[in-house]
Amino acid sequence: MSAKKIMTTKELAEYIKLNEKTVLKMAQNRELPGVKIGNQWRFRLDAVDEYLQSDVIGSSREELDTIIDTADHIIPLSRLTEPSLIRMDFEAENIDGVLKALASTAREAGITPDADELFRRLKKREKMLSTAIGSGIAIPHPRHPDEGLFKKPNVVIARSIKGVDFAAPDNKKVFLFFMTCAANVIVHLRLLAKIARIFQNEGVFEKFMGASNENEIMRVLMEQEREKITIGAR
């Protein structure tokens, strides 16, 4: 689907899997970027995608919990990654190096059939707007997730000890990279919400950086998910 595509209310509702009336209300309340022409709303796909992704990353703890918990089937992040999907202390020195390493890891793990195409789409996304969210973290992802690029939902994790200049909004280097692998935009947004949510917990960044191997990275993920469940049960 072209990023420049102009969508009707009905088409957008189908794309983001919401009721058409809900999309209309969100547009009227300026919760979605759109233009009203006469009595009809029109939406640019690239603007909607960017808005949704930025909105997820910038959401509060409670808002992120709502996004995550509205999923029909909530899969823990720790079940969407494994030691083979984790790159410890990799030595990429620039954005291209990071993206190539992530794409190569996904190909070797059988998540994507084409590392070159994944790299191309990751790079295209970074040229539009950096996926770094600040505080040493980035969430690289292709602009429009689809079934042809990813065979199943997963998360690839990479850690850089030296850090990489990644055009972060706080102008600081990025040390932790979480690449979301999703076949559709809804799963992608929920993965973004899950990742953003765990880094709102104090000391999580330091735990990831202090992990000595892939299994410890996995344990940090599981620990944060257990904490979320415990807090929610109170």
Q: Catalytic residue numbers?
A: 141
Expressed in angstroms, the distance from the first to the final Cα of the chain is 43
* Integer Cα distance of 59 and 65 in angstroms: 10
Phi, psi of 162 (to 5 degrees): -80, -25
The answer to whether 108 and 82 have CB atoms below 8 angstroms apart is no
CB contact at 8 A, 95 and 133: no
As given in the structure block, the two tokens for residue 136 are 């040493």
